Amino acid sequence: MASAADLAAAMKTIFQNNPNLSIGTVAALTNAAIEENPAAAADFAGAATEARPDDALQITRATVQVAPIQTAAIAAAAADEGVIVDDGDVADEVSNQTDLHEDAILEEAAVASIEDDAVVTDIADVDDEGNFDDENPSQDSSST
């Protein structure tokens, strides 16, 4: 089985040799690779932005839209390639997608917490697995 680095290199070659692929297609293929191996999100996003440097900002934007959970890794890969990830549009997209992801975690945890007679009101009340962290709830006024 090919390693993530081998797959990223193959993706880069494909993207370089097929300049007519749309940004959406590049983002979708990158997302498919990320879904198969989320730990290598930065490698795959980096391959796409290295292969198409003129389109790197748009690819980053599109990849963030299709792979919101890996936004930090995608933004880091883009930064490594010199893409200004704090550009208003990309920063807003990363923020929006992150907020949507946090909202989904909160919603899932809130439903689960009903069974425990707990109230989840803050992302800080949710552990890394999306479960209510009743041992370390947030201390803000909204969760008391």
Structural domain that includes position 128: 88-144
78 in the same domain as 35: yes
Dist CA 39 CA 117 (whole Å): 35
Residue 139 confidence (pLDDT) above 60: no
136 in the same domain as 92: yes
92 in the same domain as 61: no
CB-CB neighbours of 17 under 10 Å: 9
Each residue's pLDDT tens digit, 30-52: 878 877 887 787 788 888 888 88
State the pTM of this model.
0.47
Each residue's pLDDT tens digit, 55-68: 887 877 777 766 66
Dist CA 81 CA 56 (whole Å): 8
